[in-house]
Amino acid sequence: MIQFVHIHQFLCPVCGASIALPRQSQLGEYEGQQYRPKGVWPINFVCTQRGQTCEVEFDAVHLGILTPTVPYLRKMGLWLIVGGCAHEDCTNQCTIFVWHEADQSAENVVSAILNAKPMIACTWTHSVEFQAEKMTAEKLGF
């Protein structure tokens, strides 16, 4: 028998891919058919397919249904990237989420982010300057 599970998801605003939220993460947690968000929304999301950055509001999250055997949930996953800003004396950190192959190395995911050249405001005067040495990438398990 195939067991169906609920997932909370949003669509990538750039390419329309379905992005499944992990059951429990920095973003929030599942509560049956509800999703209880944490205070991180709206989030910075980078579409590595098209190399564009966008902000995703929690309003975009909706309930979907799929089976646990849907291959994309094994192949793809949500990654959390934290980057320290390399601008002069800036000590700010910026958090980015990206939907990427689950079996990639953190280095590859960081490269994919750098290739997308994300434009995210750091202060009133500059955008976050990303540098591989100041970035960490962590795959969030579903």
Stretch that binds Zn ion, among 58-66, 69-77, 118-126, 132-140 (CB under 5 A): 118-126
- Count of residues making up the chain: 142
Starting from the edge strand earliest in sequence, which strands make up the sheet with 62-66, in order?
18-20, 5-11, 62-66
Dist CA 14 CA 52 (whole Å): 7
Q: Residue 81: left (phi > 0), alpha (psi -120 to 50), or beta?
A: beta
Contact status, residue 93 vs residue 86, Cβ threshold 8 Å: no
Binding to Zn ion in span 33-72, by CB under 5 A: 47, 49
14 binds Zn ion per the rule CB under 5 A? yes
Which listed range, 34-42, 62-70, 106-114, 119-127, lies at the site for Zn ion (CB under 5 A)?
119-127
Q: Does 90 participate in binding Zn ion (rule CB under 5 A)?
A: yes
- Cα separation, 96 vs 109, in Å, equals 11
Q: Which stretch binds Zn ion (CB under 5 A): 31-39, 59-67, 87-95, 110-118?
A: 87-95
Would you say 69 or 91 has its CB closer to Zn ion?
91
CB of 42 to Zn ion, least distance (A): 16
State which residue, 22 or 83, has the beta carbon closest to Zn ion.
83
Of 7, 8, 10, 12, the residue at the interface with Zn ion (CB under 5 A) is: 12
Q: Considering only 58-66, 79-87, 108-116, 133-141, which stretch makes contact with Zn ion by CB under 5 A?
A: 79-87
81 Cβ contact partners less than 8 Å away, ≥ 6 residues apart:
95, 96, 97, 98, 109, 110, 113, 135, 136, 137, 138
Residues that bind Zn ion in the complex, under the rule CB under 5 A: 12, 14-15, 17, 47, 49, 85, 87, 90, 92, 122
